[in-house]
Amino acid sequence: MRVIARDGVHEIEIQRSRFLCSVGRVNDETEATAFIAAVRKEHWSANHNCSAFRVDGTQRSSDDGEPAGTAGVPMLEILIRRDLTNTVAVVTRYFGGIKLGAGGLVRAYGRAVSEAVDAIGTLERARFATFAITVDHADAGRLENALHAAGHRVAGVAYDRRATITVHVPEANTTPFHDWLASQTAGTATAEPGPPIDLDVH
């Protein structure tokens, strides 16, 4: 799956109408609706603020006054075609006086989202397992350095009676990771699994 690289806005002009596509990364439907509301508030004087989003297995779209199926649906189709998730898009239209017709609207709204995605960029997103590795304080620094050197994602280090290093590992690599950890610590470290997490893969 992929996500938008960052929040951003991209503008195109078609037949004197301005189409501003605002895209954002969201974690749930509540954030998506809040993003849409914020854009509508900012562009309250626009003729239309059409929207589409995909997040947590949910996908929705709105034509916001444009003829049914000519705005939100083609916007959503671009998100689906690009395999984008956790992404919301709002296309704000300032009417320029020339009617585009149903086919022209479909092409315009789809193009606005497609060009915005191209301009802002995307990132791959993957599921990672989480492990809390517990070691003696004397071994923590060396193990943390080894984790970084091996390319593992260290999320944090906490010191209590023993040191706990939190690491994110691609789900497909958990078995090799346990083998690597055992070889690095002579089997003295314990790795407790935590909740999985979706992370960007650069």
**The pLDDT of residue 61:** 97
Compare 187 and 122 and report the one with higher pLDDT: 122
User: Both ends of the chain: CA-CA distance in Å?
Assistant: 13
Which residues contact residue 115 at a Cβ distance below 8 angstroms, ignoring those fewer than 6 apart?
A: 10, 12, 21
Question: Which residue type is seen at 123?
Answer: L
Confidence of residue 146 (pLDDT cuts 50, 70, 90): very high
**The pLDDT of residue 32:** 97
**The pLDDT of residue 128:** 94
For residue 95, the SS3 value is: coil
Q: Judge whether residue 202 has pLDDT over 90.
A: no
**The pLDDT of residue 201:** 82
pTM of the predicted model, to two decimals? Answer: 0.78
Q: Do domains 2-120 and 124-201 have the same CATH topology?
A: no
Closest CA to 85 of 5, 199, 24, 1: 1
Which residues contact residue 120 at a Cβ distance below 8 angstroms, ignoring those fewer than 6 apart?
A: 4, 5, 6, 8, 10, 23
Confidence of residue 188 (pLDDT cuts 50, 70, 90): confident
Closest CA to 173 of 132, 134, 126, 129: 129
Confidence of residue 164 (pLDDT cuts 50, 70, 90): very high
Compare 1 and 181 and report the one with higher pLDDT: 181
CATH number attached to the domain at 2-120: 3.30.230.30
Closest CA to 43 of 87, 94, 96: 94
**Residues 85, 32 contacting (CB under 8 angstroms):** no
Q: Average of pLDDT values for 118-122?
A: 95
Residue whose pair of structure tokens reads 């050197």 in the numeric block:
149
**The pLDDT of residue 190:** 85
Q: Average of pLDDT values for 79-106?
A: 95
Confidence of residue 83 (pLDDT cuts 50, 70, 90): very high
Alpha helices per DSSP H over the chain: 29-42, 72-81, 101-120, 137-149, 174-185
Architecture of domain 124-201: 2-Layer Sandwich (3.30)
**Residues 166, 194 contacting (CB under 8 angstroms):** yes
For residue 152, the SS3 value is: coil
What does the alpha-carbon distance between residue 3 and residue 125 come to, in Å, rounded to a whole number? Answer: 7
Domain boundaries, the chain: 2-120, 124-201
**The pLDDT of residue 155:** 94
**The pLDDT of residue 10:** 97
Residue whose pair of structure tokens reads 């439907």 in the numeric block:
29
